Structure 1
Amino acid sequence: MLELYQFELSHYCEKVRLILDYKGLAYRKIEVTPGIGQVDLFRLSGQRQVPVLKDGNEVIADSTAIALYLDRKFPDRPILPADAKQRALCLLMEEWADESIGLNSRKVMLGAFNQSPELRLSSLPASTPDLVRNLVKSFPREVFDVLGAGVGLGAESVRSARKAMEQNLESLNTLLQDSPYLVSDQPTLADFAVAGLTMYIKFPDIPYLAIPDGLKGKGVPGLADVFAYSTFWEWRDRLYADFRKPPISATPPASSAPTSIDIE
């Protein structure tokens, strides 16, 4: 069986999970968690980032490389168009999604957690004690600003990322006004990249992901909940409903997984 070394809340992993589900491929998720196991992931793949796909003796790192491998190995339900121009457009859009949506959505999400105590509370498990909830809710915003600036996520960086995401969503909303998919009349790699990588802007409201219930359907205020982008969000909901499979709770977790602190 295919093995996906992943982080459940990685939007790059979600891109791969969408493709695996679309192709109807059985796979086992191996969750990576911060810790010493990062060395094991490096030994397996030669790098420390997820997702990594293991198919027998084949080990493939990077979401784009995994997508292209899956399309070569399992050609049923192709995710690359046969038409040369559509294929080129698909690959260009996928690269744009990785670099613009993927990077900017992470910054915008972290900025939203800074600004919104309610969003921070939504990310906590239901069993979190009230004392911890109150601490999380009342944590000074200035502390988040200082911490964010220290890792390149200061206020100006978040504002720039938000402007980029507004432009991205406006463009996607326009492209999907009269089209079922972004490139052709069938879903392609571009669609799955865009759908998966917008996860941080708005989490799916159906339990496709193992996330706290409070986060389901929640997202970045002003991006996830405004009418101007409703066509895009309705399209993404349909894509999930048509192709994404809810997790099977009986799937046994791997307790000895390698670990990583990166999520790309």
Structure 2
Amino acid sequence: MPTRLVTIPFSHFCEKARWGLERCDLPFEEDAHLPLFSYLSVRRAGGGRTVPVLVDGQDDGKTVIADSTEILGWADDRRPGALLPTDPRDRADALMLEDDFDTHLGPATRRWAYFQLLPRRDMDDLLTRDVPRWQKLALKLTRPLAVGFIKRGLKIDTAGAERSRVRIDDTFARIAQQLGDGRRYLVGERFSVADLTFAALAAPVLLPPSHPTEMPALEKFSEEARAQITAWRASPAGEYGLRMYRDHRDERMTVVVRRGATA
């Protein structure tokens, strides 16, 4: 049975897991669902309440991993050095940054982006891409209830969006300072889980053109949101995040090793 990844397609934490698996050149099938509707598939897989969930094998030999960080660790175990630095000190630094981004940046970009997009019915085609047809229909029939539930669960309101904007600014400022010495990557001399996690979790506010899931066009946002996204993209941290997508999103570790590069 092929490895399965239960996702919400546009979730940036799912993109983090997807990117890690693809970089490690590990084949998997994506089992995509809308928010709320993903719960049943997650529970059937043996996960908790959230995505992504990786399911490898079946029956008594089945492995279930319900956390993007643990999924990347599982992937690196199968392709050592593809994501995690081999130097112990660099490895510890990369994992510390990954945890920082998971805790602070990820929730902030999600809340800010949802605040901009959830009121927009014209964005539904993007949000429902690659999910089962019945879920698309169910969203149309229950949209006000579903959106209200998501807003309450994630505390998506004007005050929450503003707090998230400040947190994004703070994280971007810290990354700009770290990159200020001219380094290309956050840890060491090569791409690592720290770079992947920052880029993936910043994607909802950077809208990278090379993102595998179609992102909303900049002109679809309000004038105020467009100005903010443009400012984030032009910042040192934003330019770095976009560069990680441009240079590394389609990179596979087997290809990197074959051509003798250092990733």
TM (norm. structure 2) is 0.72
> What's the counterpart of residue 175 of structure 1?
178
Q: Does structure 1 retain, via aligned residues, the 8 Å contact 2:6–2:41?
A: no
> What's the counterpart of residue 230 of structure 1?
235
Q: Does structure 1 retain, via aligned residues, the 8 Å contact 2:116–2:221?
A: no
Q: Which residues in structure 2 correspond to 1:207-222 (within 5 Å)?
A: 208-211=212-215, 214=217, 220-222=225-227
> What's the counterpart of residue 97 of structure 1?
101
> What's the counterpart of residue 123 of structure 1?
123
Question: Cα distance 1:243–1:46, how it changes in 2: closer, same or farther (>3 A)?
Answer: same
CA distance in structure 2 between the partners assigned to 1:37 and 1:111 by the alignment: 21
Q: Which residues in structure 2 correspond to 1:184-195 (within 5 Å)?
A: 184-195=188-199
Q: Does structure 2 retain, via aligned residues, the 8 Å contact 1:149–1:155?
A: no
Q: 1:222: Cα distance to partner?
A: 4.4
Q: Does structure 1 retain, via aligned residues, the 8 Å contact 2:98–2:193?
A: yes
Q: 1:166 aligned to 148, 164, 169, which one?
A: 169
Q: Does structure 2 retain, via aligned residues, the 8 Å contact 1:176–1:182?
A: yes
Q: 1:13: Cα distance to partner?
A: 0.5
Q: 1:94: Cα distance to partner?
A: 0.5
Q: 1:95: Cα distance to partner?
A: 0.6
> What's the counterpart of residue 24 of structure 2?
23
CA distance in structure 2 between the partners assigned to 1:151 and 1:94 by the alignment: 21
Q: Does structure 2 retain, via aligned residues, the 8 Å contact 1:206–1:216?
A: no
Tell me, yes or no, if structure 1 residue 54 matches structure 2 residue 55. yes
In structure 2, the gaps of 5 or more residues are 127-146, 252-263
- For 1:49, give the aligned amino acid: T
Q: Which has the higher helix share?
A: 2
Q: 1:27: Cα distance to partner?
A: 2.1
3-state SS of 1:69 partner: helix
CA distance in structure 1 between the partners assigned to 2:107 and 2:35 by the alignment: 21
CA distance in structure 1 between the partners assigned to 2:211 and 2:31 by the alignment: 18
CA distance in structure 1 between the partners assigned to 2:30 and 2:55 by the alignment: 11
Runs ≥4 residues deviating over 6 A = 216-219
TM (norm. structure 1) is 0.71
**Which protein, 1 or 2, shows the higher relative CO under an 8 Å CA cutoff with sep ≥ 6?**
1
> What's the counterpart of residue 253 of structure 1?
none
| Higher mean displacement: 236-245 or 63-72 | 236-245
- For 1:23, give the aligned amino acid: C
Q: 1:37: Cα distance to partner?
A: 6.4
Q: Does structure 2 retain, via aligned residues, the 8 Å contact 1:6–1:51?
A: yes
Question: Aligned residue pairs: how many?
Answer: 222
Question: Cα distance 1:109–1:35, how it changes in 2: closer, same or farther (>3 A)?
Answer: closer
Q: Does structure 1 retain, via aligned residues, the 8 Å contact 2:210–2:249?
A: no
Q: 1:64: Cα distance to partner?
A: 0.8
Q: 1:20: Cα distance to partner?
A: 1.8
CA distance in structure 2 between the partners assigned to 1:234 and 1:59 by the alignment: 35
